[in-house]
């Protein structure tokens, strides 16, 4: 049995389209120093056919983000191999293949969740990716537990077995089926029932592999309970890690609480986090001012709106950091100016967990 307490995948944040860009990941790193971070899905086309500007746009990240994984979208083994090599050269710690996104746009590209119907193709792709990656850079797969309304365990079991034989040792399992027709991506995150027991069965049947559970996680208590083998009678096999998605984005306290619960990490104050964000934003503005897509305050601010989620006065804080006129000034000091709007209700110098306890 694996040592789950020290798994590099014990706590991870999900790849989220339009959300988990590098500015978001920098904030996540401030909130959760031990989490493994994932990029948005990047399709192979811009990496293979794009120039330096395209590569920078899709692949640039801060040194503070490590460990950070690049998620790729594609279904051509040669393209995925080339994109993997590019990602490795940029310094990513892991390359992940998306076999879980059910959107129609992704399906039209013949990748994402629909790839689960072709495990041999996925295995070919993974083998090509493994062949070009150094041995210390894992090739991983994120997938669902079934397609449409087929709930046979044998479907996902055989998928994992086939892909594992190609060299994938880490599987991130969104514990729902993907309904390819009739449900939107949002509905696909909510309507198909969660079946965490399927992940337990995979852990049982593939003891040499690592399984990370994703889907429906909204609290630190839930994450800790899923990883704690002592909380069930009789004991059941637990996943080796958890992946937190939208709950972490919308409520920064959730991310910090999981970090503290799993690793005992001292909790930063909101004021300290805002100071780091100001420094980061100023640095990014200066570094990109001559580029075709320079960083603006709004690019960073949109990810910070969850810092006061659930707190009295949080709405005023979010309103100020969403004001088009204030954002147009492009002044990183806007983050500091927004704090007094919140401080009349809640001491922003208190750690997150203290504020949550109140």
Domain harbouring 332, CATH code: 1.20.120
In tens, the pLDDT along 189-247 reads 999 999 999 999 999 999 999 999 999 999 999 999 999 866 654 456 799 999 999 99
| Residue 262 belongs to some domain of the structure | no
Q: CA dihedral in degrees (293, 296, 300, 303; nearest 10)?
A: -80
- Mean pLDDT check: name the lowest of 63-72, 126-135, 263-272, 324-333: 263-272
Residues 213 and 297 in one domain: no
Residues 99 and 147 in one domain: yes
For residue 50, pLDDT over 60 is answered with yes
Residue 343's pLDDT band (cuts 50, 70, 90): low
**Boundary (domain end) residue, out of 193, 211, 246:** 246
Residue 358's pLDDT band (cuts 50, 70, 90): very low
Mean pLDDT, rounded, for 33-56: 95
Give how far the C-alpha of residue 28 lies from the chain's centroid of Cα atoms, to the nearest Å: 10
Residues 209 and 89 in one domain: yes
Residue 6's pLDDT band (cuts 50, 70, 90): confident
pLDDT of amino acid 321:
96
Residues 6+ apart with CB under 8 A from 276: 30
Q: How many angstroms separate the CA atoms of 155 and 151, rounded?
A: 8
| Residue 161 belongs to some domain of the structure | yes
pLDDT of amino acid 198:
97
Q: Would you tell me how many other CB atoms lie within 10 Å of the CB of residue 48? A: 16
Residues 132 and 171 in one domain: yes
Residues 139 and 217 in one domain: yes
Q: What is the CATH number of the domain that holds 32?
A: 3.20.20.70
pLDDT of amino acid 236:
61
Mean pLDDT for all residues in the chain: 91
Residues 106 and 169 in one domain: yes
Residues 320 and 219 in one domain: no
Residues 286 and 242 in one domain: no
pLDDT of amino acid 357:
39
* Enzyme catalytic residues: 101
Q: How many angstroms separate the CA atoms of 151 and 116, rounded?
A: 13
pLDDT of amino acid 331:
98
What angle (nearest 5°) sits at the alpha carbon of residue 180, between those of residues 249 and 195?
60
DSSP conformation class of 19:
T
Tell me the pTM: 0.92
pLDDT of amino acid 101:
93
Mean pLDDT, rounded, for 339-343: 63
Q: 343 or 54: which carries more pLDDT confidence?
A: 54
Residue 110's pLDDT band (cuts 50, 70, 90): confident
pLDDT of amino acid 15:
97
| Residue 264 belongs to some domain of the structure | no
Residue in 180, 14, 189 with CA at minimum distance from that of residue 106: 180
Residue 64's pLDDT band (cuts 50, 70, 90): very high
Backbone angles phi, psi at 2, to 5 degrees: -75, 155
For residue 9, pLDDT over 50 is answered with yes
Residues 229 and 276 in one domain: no
Both structure tokens of 236: 């059941």
Q: Which residues pair with 142 in a beta bridge?
A: 98, 172
In tens, the pLDDT along 81-103 reads 999 999 999 999 999 999 999 98
| Residue 240 belongs to some domain of the structure | yes
Q: 335 or 109: which carries more pLDDT confidence?
A: 335
pLDDT of amino acid 314:
80
For residue 250, pLDDT over 50 is answered with yes
pLDDT of amino acid 104:
84
Residues 35 and 177 in one domain: yes
Tokens 């997938």 belong to 143
Residue 307's pLDDT band (cuts 50, 70, 90): very high
Q: 67 or 185: which carries more pLDDT confidence?
A: 67
Residue 188 and residue 147 in contact, taking contact as beta carbons nearer than 8 Å = no
| Residue 192 belongs to some domain of the structure | yes
**Boundary (domain end) residue, out of 246, 261, 279:** 246
In tens, the pLDDT along 131-182 reads 999 999 999 999 999 999 999 999 999 999 999 999 999 999 999 999 998 8
pLDDT of amino acid 228:
84
For residue 340, pLDDT over 70 is answered with no
Residues 78 and 156 in one domain: yes
Question: With the C-alpha atoms ordered 157, 160, 162, 167, is the resulting torsion angle positive or negative?
Answer: negative
| Residue 261 belongs to some domain of the structure | no
Domain total of the chain: 2
Domain residue limits at 346: 270-357
pLDDT of amino acid 82:
98
Mean pLDDT, rounded, for 104-128: 93
| Residue 17 belongs to some domain of the structure | yes
Query: What is the three-class DSSP state of 36?
Result: strand
| Residue 260 belongs to some domain of the structure | no
For residue 66, pLDDT over 80 is answered with yes
Residues 59 and 201 in one domain: yes
């Amino acid at each position: 049995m694996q040592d789950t307490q020290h798994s590099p995948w014990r706590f991870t944040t999900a790849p989220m389209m339009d959300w988990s860009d590098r500015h978001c990941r920098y904030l996540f790193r401030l909130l959760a120093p031990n989490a493994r971070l994932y990029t948005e899905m990047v399709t192979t086309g811009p990496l293979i056919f794009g120039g330096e500007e395209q590569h920078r746009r899709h692949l640039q990240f801060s040194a503070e983000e490590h460990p950070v994984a690049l998620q790729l979208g594609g279904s051509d083994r040669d393209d995925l191999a080339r994109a993997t090599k590019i990602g490795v050269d940029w310094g990513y710690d892991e390359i992940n293949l998306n076999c879980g996104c059910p959107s129609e746009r992704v399906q039209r590209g013949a990748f994402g969740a629909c790839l689960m119907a072709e495990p041999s193709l996925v295995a070919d792709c993974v083998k090509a990716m493994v062949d070009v990656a150094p041995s210390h850079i894992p090739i991983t797969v994120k997938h669902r537990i079934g397609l449409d309304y087929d709930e046979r365990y044998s479907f996902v079991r055989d998928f994992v077995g086939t892909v594992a034989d190609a060299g994938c040792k880490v599987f991130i399992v969104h514990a729902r089926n993907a309904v390819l027709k009739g449900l939107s991506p949002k509905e696909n995150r909510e309507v198909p029932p969660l079946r965490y027991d399927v992940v337990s069965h995979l852990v049982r049947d593939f003891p040499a592999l690592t399984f990370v559970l994703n889907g429906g996680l909204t609290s630190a208590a839930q994450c800790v309970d899923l990883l704690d083998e002592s909380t069930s009678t009789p004991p059941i096999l637990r996943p080796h890690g958890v992946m937190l998605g939208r709950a972490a984005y919308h409520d920064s306290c959730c991310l910090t609480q999981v970090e503290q619960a799993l690793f005992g990490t001292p909790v930063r104050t909101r004021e300290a986090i805002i100071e780091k964000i100001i420094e980061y934003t100023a640095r990014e503005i200066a570094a990109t001012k001559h580029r075709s897509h320079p960083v603006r305050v709004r690019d960073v601010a949109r990810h910070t709106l969850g810092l006061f989620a659930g707190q009295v006065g949080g709405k005023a804080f979010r309103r100020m950091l969403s004001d088009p006129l204030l954002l147009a000034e492009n002044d990183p000091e806007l983050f500091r100016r927004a704090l007094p709007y919140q401080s009349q209700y809640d001491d922003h110098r208190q750690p997150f967990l203290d504020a949550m306890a109140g």
